[in-house]
Amino acid sequence: MKEEKIIIIGGGPCGLSAAIELKRQGFEPLIIEKKNVANSIYHYPTHQTFFSSSEKLEIGQIPFISERQKPVRNEALTYYRTVADRTKLRINTYEKVLNMQSNPDGYHISTVDQNNIAHDYLTTYLVVATGYYDHPNRLDIPGESLPHVSHYFKEAHPFYNQNVVVIGGKNSAVDATLELEKAGAHVTVLYRGADYSSSVKPWILPNFEALVRHNKIQMVFNAEVQKITEEKVHYNIGEANYQAEADFVFAMVGYHPDHQFLKSIGINIDIETGRPEFNEATMETNISNVYISGVIAAGYNNNEIFIENGRHHGEQIAQHIAEKEQVR
């Protein structure tokens, strides 16, 4: 069994930030990441433009230089892997955490790497920075698991001249719809809200509304999706029943943290908000020496914490661990 002082689960921006801040306090944390650095960003749509400016995505006080006011996906991937390299972080990529158990000496973590080789660690401190993008919200309706239905959108080209239904009305749904329309898809958007979501990026909403007005996009409000078949999406508006032709369906209805993993560690989860129990000043959870960092702290409201504010959690965590170690 390998012994570590601090292990960070998750190699996204907030996990990297926590590792950098811990190094500044004199520690050498180990990051365990089930894929590669910034894996969630890698899975963003290829055209993705960030809501934040580049300086608000910076970590470790390392400048993020972008030729655009708001950087795009590939720039962010380049930046975060460059930061990981320059700060010489210890990262075990393609290694998945299977479970964690508490014992008198700390926390026992079991993992498996891409070659199916098992690893065991004993750590004093644990930082969970796993994000939420790997766990899409589900509609829980018949047909949701059909092969032409997806909860992720990558790029629009394959859907030229196809009937595509997008379920949802927030940023991910709007972004996907704009790209699909641009690529020549025939798009219908089904949204259960009565009007456009207030969370939609203000600089893209006017363009989206114009396309709806000119019937380039079919926008349906107050739509409650009932089931998906091989060729159609069935939905209700009030008591009336409707159908939309669908060669492909994108259910863009958000994502959530891995509550099962958090609960298995013993972290308390608020049933209504999905928020883990933690001290906002230190990011320490109700489990001693176990911390959370990033959007996972927001529970179901993933519009509350982004990279630009979640990146600061690492400073709080590092300072608190340093204080504990000095006492010892």
Tens of pLDDT, residue by residue over 161-180, are 999 999 999 999 999 999 99
Q: Token pair of 297, please?
A: 């702290």
Full domain range(s) for residue 280: 2-135+255-327
Rounded Cα gap, residues 304 and 66, in angstroms: 25
Residue 227 within a domain: yes
Q: Is 302's pLDDT higher than 90?
A: no
Does residue 140 lie within any of the structural domains? no
Burial 101-112 (b: 16+ CB within 10 A, else e): eeeeebbebebe
* pLDDT of the residue at 70: 87
Q: Do residue 84 and residue 162 come from a single domain?
A: no
Do 246 and 147 meet the contact criterion of CB atoms below 8 Å apart?
A: no
**Domain match, 199 and 280 both:** no
- Do 187 and 250 touch, CB atoms closer than 8 A? no
How far lies 307's CA from each of 56, 59, 172, 277, 302, in Å?
A: 8, 9, 16, 20, 11
> What's the pLDDT band for 261 if we cut at 50, 70, 90?
confident
- Classify residue 91: in a domain, yes or no: yes
When pLDDT is averaged across residues 264-272 and rounded to a whole number, the result is 90
User: Does 72 have pLDDT greater than 80?
Assistant: yes
User: Which has the closest alpha carbon to 100: 89, 112, 115, 110?
Assistant: 110
One domain for residues 308 and 222:
no
Residues 95 and 22 in one domain: yes
Q: How many residues does the chain have?
A: 328
Q: Worst-scoring range by mean pLDDT, 50-59, 74-83, 150-159?
A: 50-59
Query: For residue 227, what are the β-bridge partners?
Result: 234
Alpha-carbon span 294 to 314, nearest angstrom: 9
Cα angle value 255/261/267 (rounded, 5°): 105
Helix crossing, 13-24 with 313-327: angle to 10°? 40
* 269 inside domain: yes
Domain boundary among 231, 251, 271: 251
Both 183 and 271 in one domain: the answer is: no
pLDDT digits (tens, 9 = 90+) for 179-213: 999 999 999 999 999 999 988 888 889 999 999 99
Is residue 279 in some structural domain? Answer: yes
Does residue 9 lie in a domain region?
yes
End residue of a domain, out of 204, 232, 251:
251
CA distance 88 to 185: 45
Q: Calculate the CA 2 to chain-centre distance.
A: 29
R_g over Cα of the chain: 21
Backbone angles phi, psi at 247, to 5 degrees: -75, -30
Q: Are residues 209 and 271 both part of a single domain?
A: no
Is position 218 within any domain? yes
Residues 239 and 259 in one domain: no
- Residues 200, 187 share a domain: yes
Question: Of all residues in the chain, what percent carry a pLDDT higher than 70?
Answer: 98
* Residue 260 burial (C-beta neighbours within 10 Å; 0-12, 13-18, 19+): exposed
Give the domain-ending residue among 208, 224, 251.
251
Number of independent structural domains in the chain: 2
Same domain for 121 and 210, yes or no, is no
CATH of residue 15's domain is: 3.50.50.60
What's the whole-number mean pLDDT along residues 235-260? 94
Pairing, β 90-92 against β 30-32: parallel
Q: How confident is the model at residue 274 (pLDDT cuts 50, 70, 90)?
A: confident
Q: 163-167 and 186-190 as β-strands: parallel, antiparallel, unpaired?
A: parallel
Is 278's pLDDT higher than 70? Answer: yes
8, 74: one domain: yes
Same domain, 126 and 261: yes
What tokens were used for 164? 């595509």
The confidence score (pLDDT) of residue 161 equals 98
Say yes or no to pLDDT of 63 above 80. Answer: yes
Q: Please give the backbone phi and psi of residue 251, each rounded to the nearest 5 degrees, phi first.
A: -95, 90
CA 288, chain centre distance (Å): 26
Residues 278, 200 share a domain: no
Q: Where do the DSSP E strands lie in the chain?
A: 2-9, 30-32, 90-92, 95-103, 106-113, 118-128, 149-150, 163-167, 186-190, 217-220, 224-228, 232-237, 240-245, 248-251, 290-292
Does residue 322 belong to any structural domain of this protein?
yes
96-120 residue pLDDT tens: 999 988 888 899 999 999 999 999 9
- DSSP β-ladder status, 2-9 and 30-32: parallel
The pTM is what? 0.89
Going by their DSSP bridges, the two strands 149-150 and 248-251 should be labelled as: parallel
* Residue among 144, 146, 193 at smallest CA distance from 170: 193
- Single-letter residue type at 225: V
